[in-house]
Amino acid sequence: MIEDKNQQRTQLEDLGEFGLIDHLTANFKISQKSTIKGIGDDAAVLDFGKKQVVVSTDLLVEGVHFDLSYVPLKHLGYKAIMVNLSDIYAMNASATQVTVSIAVSNRFPLEALEELYEGIHAAANVYGVDVVGGDTTSSTSGLLISVTAIGEIDKDEAVYRSGAKPNDLLVVTGDLGGSYMGLQVLEREKEVFKVNPNNQPDLDQYTYIIERQLKPEARKDIITLLKDLDVKPTAMIDISDGLSSEILHLCKHSKVGCDLYEDKIPLDPQVISTCEEFNIDSTTVALNGGEDYELLFTISQDDFPKIQSNPNFSVIGYMQEESAGIHLVTRAETKIPIKAQGWKNFKG
Ligand SMILES: [Mg+2]
């Protein structure tokens, strides 16, 4: 489906490790005042003054987290940054720096890594974070990308998973399930392509969900919006593994129960139509699909009027006493316990 557009193939060993980093990061500029020293010494130097520092790391492995037969390297670079920034925003913090480390096998020429770094550069630019370090090494099996994101926050402003109280409202941003359904479409097209490489897929009706999968956006805008609305969530988490597992995290850390209303879960029309086409239940997709990188948070009921008419937010349930348990209230008004799905990267 994605043809090799790299006509030129420069072998990585022609540059050497340090030459490679210099080459890939040559046009990265510093924009954060907390960055005292970025790339170019043994370590970066950061100065946050009186702020608290938030740190998060993710590791992406070819064949486990991404499939290069349909994920363009530029998108992969962008997404690797998004996945990490999303965790910083989920703390109510602003993201300031990232480090990017990669391990590559010799099947990747320099031109492929340039594409990857174009995506990293674009994400860093759009979100205003500095790339301040990283490492490159060789790998015997495919591509690994590890990103560490750093953010800052005023003292006492961090929002943890542990602050939700009974009767707090459960709120989610954007819509859910798009990324998972986008992946289903891409997987299907990959199979079609294997049988008939000349077949040009018509993906027009799936543009939104494919973009949700290939080029997710972390919700930096929501952190700003919540400040503007003068709403501080009582607990917050980002949706990387799916709504159900994130709700379970919030409930476990806050020691509360929850009622989630099926009819309140926000779904894009393209998710609904694609679920119908694939004969998959859209609620299951929202609950277990993951990779939406939306924010899930709880607020005191007193704050409800502040978010009520804002299209970015959907109130999807409320927190209960821990003893009440954690349930999905279906459209038919039956209560189904929400259970852990396990870690999908380890599933067959
Ligand atoms: Mg997270």
pLDDT in tens, 296-320: 999 999 999 999 999 999 999 999 9
* Residue-level pLDDT at 6: 52
- Contact present, 155 and 162 (Cβ < 8 Å): no
CA–CA distance, 128 with 113 (Å, rounded to integer): 22
Distance from residue 323's CA to the centre of ligand 1 (Å): 26
Is the Cβ–Cβ distance between 301 and 311 less than 8 Å? no
Q: Find the 11 Cα to ligand 1 centroid distance in Å.
A: 36
**Rounded average pLDDT over 53-63:** 95
CA of 240 to the centre of ligand 1 (A): 6
Q: Which residues are annotated as a binding site for Mg(2+)?
A: 42, 56-58, 87, 135, 238, 241
In 3D space, the residue among 93, 69, 242, 74 whose CA is nearest the CA of residue 145 turns out to be 74
Question: What's the gap in Å between 58 CA and the centre of ligand 1?
Answer: 10
Across residues 246-267, what is the average pLDDT? Answer: 98
- Across residues 49-53, what is the average pLDDT? 95
Q: 242-256: per-residue pLDDT in tens? A: 999 999 999 999 999
pLDDT (mean) for 7-34: 82
223: CA distance to ligand 1 center in Å? 15
Q: Ligand 1 centre and the CA of 315: distance in Å?
A: 20
- Locus of tokens 């010494």: 41
The rounded Å distance from CA 85 to ligand 1 centre is 9
Residue 295 Cα to ligand 1 middle (Å): 9
- How much distance in Å is there from the Cα of 207 to the middle of ligand 1? 26
Rounded to whole angstroms, the Cα distance separating 165 from 260 reads 15
Q: Contact, 290 vs 228, CB < 8 A? A: no
Higher pLDDT, 5 or 302: 302
DSSP state at residue 136: E
Q: What is the dihedral of CA 78, 18, 58, 127, to 10 degrees?
A: -40
Cβ(134)–Cβ(40) under 8 Å?
Answer: no
Whole-number average pLDDT of the chain: 92
- Select the more confidently predicted residue: 140 or 266: 266
The span from the first CA to the last CA of the chain, in angstroms, equals: 25
Q: How confident is the model at residue 20 (pLDDT cuts 50, 70, 90)?
A: confident
Task: Specify the CATH number of the domain 12-153.
Answer: 3.30.1330.10
**Could you tell me the distance, in angstroms and rounded to a whole number, from the CA of residue 181 to the centre of ligand 1?**
20
192 Cα–ligand 1 center, Å: 34
Q: Which residues contribute to the annotated binding site for substrate?
A: 65, 291, 343
Identify the helix (H) or strand (E) that includes residue 246: helix 243-254
CA of 161 to the centre of ligand 1 (A): 10
Count of CA atoms in the C-beta half-sphere (13 A) of 296: 34
d(CA 339, CA 260): 13
Average confidence (pLDDT) over 268-272: 98
Q: Where are the domains of the chain?
A: 12-153, 169-343
Spatial contact of 127 and 221, defined as CB atoms under 8 Å apart: no
Band of pLDDT at residue 10, cut at 50, 70 and 90: confident
Residue type, 51: K
Spell 63-102 as b/e; 16+ CB within 10 A means b: eebbebebbbbbbbbbbbbbbbbbbbbbbbbbbbbbbbbb
Q: Which CATH number fits domain 169-343: 3.20.20.140, 3.90.650.10, 3.40.640.10, 1.25.10.10?
A: 3.90.650.10
Residue ranges with CB less than 5 Å from ion ligand 1: 87, 238
* Predicted local confidence at residue 18, as pLDDT: 67
- Residue 274 confidence (pLDDT): 98
Binding-site entries: 42, 56-58, 65, 87, 117, 134-135, 161, 238, 240-241, 291, 343
